[in-house]
Amino acid sequence: MSTDTAPFGTRLQAAMAQHGPLCAGIDPHRGLVESWGLTYDLAGVERFAMTCVEAFGGSVAAVKPQSAFFEVFGAKGVALLERVLTDLRDAGTLTVLDVKRGDIGTTVDAYGEAFLGKDAPAAADAITLSPYLGYGSLRPAIDLAHATGRGAFVLALTSNPEGAQVQHARLADGRSVAGAIADEAGEDNAEARGRGELGSIGLVVGATVGSAVRDLGVDLPGMAGPVLAPGLGAQGATADDVRSVFAGALPQVLASSSRDVLRAGPDVAALRDRARAVATQVAAITAS
């Protein structure tokens, strides 16, 4: 299978081996944009975003634009987001579009086509999905991701305190909601696991969730997909936190860092150097 048509998990595994396990965020919210000395308007966000594309393209394993920070500027903001995704793809860099979509039936089908379809106008290599209408409600998007060689990261254990109300709850069979989500993602990765490859359906698990992975029976190694792990840097997770939270699944971890990398801007070289330094640090943590 060529690299152009290989499953997302296979391509991500190769990118992580080449560049280190870092997913650099593009989060052009007001505070960050203005900290770069830019005006918080479409022109300033465009300058911010395209500086990130120049710095990260070809330099990191993956880049995660946050869709909301583009959508706030309406159609022109969405057009800019499409340009960011296209330019990163042209640079050979994987994209994870942070949209956290979740719905049912024809609506989730349409969300899938918008971002994962063969002719998607805002095509990404993977998107984030919310399973809290039930993991099965995501089936159209997950099946489409597999059909098009793309992927998804399903929210499982997030670091916000409100998340525990749902994610830590127990089902009738005794499993936690987060554990059940991991089990179902594992079923979707069974074929890749059988080939000894990383699956294309991953989970979002915060690096600051403490002992929750163990306490809730979330089987990350058995899930066999990538784990998108926000929380390093500005959110306070340490190397010891990462080793503790993801013990047994460290090779699957794709650390997500936004503020810790973006504070090095607006200089392109400084931004690129910071991203590479963080990737090296994460590689050392996840290899230990």
Spatial CA neighbour of 115 closest among 98, 138, 134, 91: 98
The answer to whether 176 touches 219, Cβ cutoff 8 Å, is: no
Contacts of 111 (CB under 8 A, 6+ apart): 99, 101, 103, 141
* Angstrom distance (rounded) from CA 189 to CA 223: 7
Q: Which two tokens stand for residue 45?
A: 């966000």
The catalytic site residues sit at: 100
The DSSP code sequence of 233-265 is GGG-B-HHHHHHHTTT-GGGEEEEESHHHHTTT
The answer to whether 177 touches 169, Cβ cutoff 8 Å, is: yes
